[in-house]
Structure 1
Amino acid sequence: MLETSGNVRSIDELLDRVRSAAYGPGPAQERIAVAFTTTQAVRHAGRTSGYRNEVLSLRLAEAVGSCAVEPGALPAAALDDCVGATVAELLDHPLLPIRIAALDAYLTHARPHTPANGARPYALPAGSSLHKSRARARAVVDLLPVTRLRTVLVVGVVNSLLERLRTRGIGYIPCDLKGGTTEWGEPVRTDAGAELEHCDAILASGMTLGNGTFEPLLAHAAATGKPLVMFAQTGSAVLPRFLGSGVSAVCAEPYPFFWLDGGPGVVHRYGGAQ
């Protein structure tokens, strides 16, 4: 019997459901045709700092699943491990980013981002990288409640998201494993768990799936009822499965990402403010 809702409480539970074909075709019958990485360096016009991204992506039929990794962290054999392998095999791969990318590819294939599956399309305009970044930030931040927010814990610092929070008059605690400072000179914390008691909502990157830090955020949100909004290039089709189990909203952005093209684009929103 196929699953039609979320309410998944852990990555392991979701993996078990996929292995049992709860969402569609058996993963042992689905093979990855193409594996590739996308590496990006960016410094938006007018910004004082930049950053680098690297993303592993796997192609399954018409779907692409992705997981961000630290630049240079993937071993040289990672792509060879993926090409031609079944989804079932990759769900048991020793590297977490490969497991997440395979899971995302499968769920993007089995549960595409359509209104029938709960997604609401949100158009991104054509324009510069900064213009599109700010447009995406609106799509993400505006999924938070419109009232009773004092401080948001932001896990995975994106300056455009912080800028949008500032525009809305909402305080924030920036947190990222890389540390550093924000565009406004604010220190970036590196331990999200230590900051959970000091916020009344959480805004977190899908990268938390790939580095193993997602489930503590999910557990805290589920236990406290705090809004947990995910912005997801990593695991765009994975995170909607956690709606109702701690995740309150998702801004899903499957490949190709907004920073790859200056033309119009679309993200897909689930839950949150309507």
Structure 2
Amino acid sequence: MTGITAPPATVSSYAELLQRVRGGDLGPDPRTQRISVAFTTRQSVRHDGRGGGYRNEVLSLRLAEATGSCAVEPGELPADAVEDCVGADVARLLDHDLTAVRVAALDAYLSHALPHQPAQGARDYPLPAGTSLEKSRARARAVVELLDVRRGGTVLVVGVVNSLLEALRARGLRYIPCDLKGGTTEWGEPVRRDAPAELDRCDALLASGMTLGNGSFEPLREHALRHGKPLVMFAQTGSAVLPRLIGAGVSAVCAEPYPFFWLHGGPGTVHRYGGALS
């Protein structure tokens, strides 16, 4: 395998990242940066040929040319959250009562200050035009290629996406599917609800950026760092946040800023950081 070079870790934890952004260490003073547009995106999907479907809701904040996002459980976001963000400065939103607002504001700020470019360690990966399922599978390949795990290894998947499980199967990898919603996978496998309880059973972790929004990210990062396990993040939520933690528990990120692959059928791009490619 050939390693992908990336800049040294900017910070050692999510808390330190917040502290440095608040202090203006990573870009302009957040008190001078105002959100011009705030919006939500809701979708429900059932891919052709798949037995089940899912729903998404995402809060997005626009700062200059950048958009930051945080997924929430459908219906969880208060009706006035969007209006509360418009015209507000980033510093205020980083202390907002709602976790989703705090994460989206941080993501917008870092997308603006440290955009997805080679200078920041990003490598563009094109997604071809196609159906929703074709694009989902293309994105899954982009994510799973970042895992440095031998055939037969076990991957803890936090945030179940059937296309990702399918890609892991194709590589001869076993997996433990976890999601707060529970349920079953496309193949009838039970989905665990308690990811921390499964950590000792895995060789590597593959987790959604949604873990930033629901507060479950730091235990995953700390476990990966403590035990030297690969932690690959697939990030629509916090796509510009998680690359700053590479080398501090996170080993790779497939960053997908707005607009996401499921919004349109045309070609797109994700940005990969760190990890290893076969």
Q: What's the TM-score once normalised by structure 2's chain length?
A: 0.96
The whole-number CA distance in structure 2 between the counterparts of 1:149 and 1:245 is 26
Corresponding residue to 2:170 among 158, 164, 167: 167
- Aligned position for 1:272: 275
The whole-number CA distance in structure 2 between the counterparts of 1:244 and 1:15 is 17
Structure 1 residue 153 and structure 2 residue 136: aligned?
no
Structure 1 residue 9 and structure 2 residue 22: aligned?
no
- Aligned position for 1:72: 75
1:36 shift after superposition: 0.2
Q: Which structure 1 residue ranges, 4+ long, deviate > 4 Å from structure 2?
A: none
1:10 shift after superposition: 2.4
1:13 shift after superposition: 1.0
- Aligned position for 1:125: 128
1:157 shift after superposition: 0.0
1:121 shift after superposition: 0.1
The whole-number CA distance in structure 2 between the counterparts of 1:54 and 1:206 is 14
> Quick one: which amino acid aligns to residue 14 of structure 1?
L
> Quick one: which amino acid aligns to residue 55 of structure 1?
V
Deviations 1:80-133 (A, max 9, x none): 110000000000001111000000000000000001110000000000000000
- Aligned position for 2:49: 46
Corresponding residue to 2:103 among 100, 104, 107: 100
Secondary structure, counterpart of 1:153 in structure 2: strand
The whole-number CA distance in structure 2 between the counterparts of 1:229 and 1:190 is 19
The whole-number CA distance in structure 1 between the counterparts of 2:250 and 2:11 is 10
Corresponding residue to 2:94 among 91, 94, 111: 91
Identity across the alignment (%):
75
Secondary structure, counterpart of 1:71 in structure 2: coil
Unaligned stretches of 5+ residues in structure 2: 1-6
The whole-number CA distance in structure 2 between the counterparts of 1:141 and 1:77 is 38
The whole-number CA distance in structure 2 between the counterparts of 1:15 and 1:80 is 23
The whole-number CA distance in structure 1 between the counterparts of 2:179 and 2:141 is 20
Alignment size in residue pairs: 271
Higher relative contact order structure (alpha carbons within 8 Å, sequence separation ≥ 6):
2
1:39 shift after superposition: 0.2
Q: What's the TM-score once normalised by structure 1's chain length?
A: 0.97
> Quick one: which amino acid aligns to residue 175 of structure 2?
Y
1:7 shift after superposition: 4.3
- Aligned position for 2:200: 197
1:146 shift after superposition: 4.9
Structure 1 residue 216 and structure 2 residue 219: aligned?
yes
> Quick one: which amino acid aligns to residue 89 of structure 1?
R
Q: Is the 8 A contact 2:69 2:103 kept in 1?
A: yes
The whole-number CA distance in structure 1 between the counterparts of 2:179 and 2:211 is 10
Q: Is the 8 A contact 2:14 2:245 kept in 1?
A: no
The whole-number CA distance in structure 2 between the counterparts of 1:148 and 1:51 is 30
Taking only aligned residues, the RMSD between alpha carbons, in angstroms, comes to 1.0
Corresponding residue to 1:253 among 256, 267, 273: 256
